[in-house]
Structure 1
């Protein structure tokens, strides 16, 4: 129970899967499967909160390695996924930047149709909420604060994080659909991540 509570605190959104960011985190997954590393059964860094689909239907016991035996899967709590993956905001599709990114997309099914559609919708929703927040900051600070809470708690928090990353790139206003959105993303209240990948790092 304590482990579940701790992992829930680390996950983005309201108890969201640490792999897909959409499903409710109902399972505790051993990132490195116990079949390969039985001594890591109680190793805290080896536990992640996952939805039943990612845990039981996608990852299962899969744990691809390179020729040196190093894991090809990106650990979302130990490293920045965006060193290996790029989210195309307009389509909701993840593209691989490295072989590790490719393996991660494949094993977790990150480009399955429901996730792609959900991310594309989250992008439009986030743009709308950011524009609303800019206007509300002039008239209703309490409701503007509620928007930040909603952005933090919604599924597909990776969309907002990708937008924050795009903000500093040339031509960001084209990708993010306007300078108003680019400026809104500069709001310090939106920078609530503790770690580059969107998750709190292990302690």
Structure 2
């Protein structure tokens, strides 16, 4: 029996344009993400470097860009939070059948943009019993330690948890720990259909 619903944020609730960041950085003069850049991105997601350090790193790599250009390009991935998904989540909270936890790989620049531009963000966050952002807890998916952190902190039994994420690498790690998973396809599936798509678990 599922007792806890563990949700990703981007492309589960919040719509993303995942190609946008590179597309906009490319306009500024970036031709490809180097291994060093990928490492910096991951460190930033884990809160290991500050936003200032992160932006400075990229301005050094793309000399003709400004800090403002880079922040705008970095945040271009973020789109909107559809009302029907918020209403679905609010209904779950009201019913109180499940513990609701958010577990998201994100960073300070993205969350700052979301707080300023997504008018329902406070209502969204209020629906969860726990709200974990990678840069605040210093773990990131798909590393196993982020799942162990949540399981241990909430004394969860993996077989009683359903984890929903749009990245297969993330759901595979969770599955290996015995957690039920739904690797949602944001192009053809919607979180509001959770109970019909995963009906065998409920």
Q: Common fold, TM-score beyond 0.5?
A: no
Which one scores higher on RCO, CA 8 angstroms, separation ≥ 6?
Answer: 2
The structure whose residues are more often helix, as a share, is 2
Under a length normalisation based on structure 1, what TM-score does the superposition of the two structures give?
Answer: 0.28
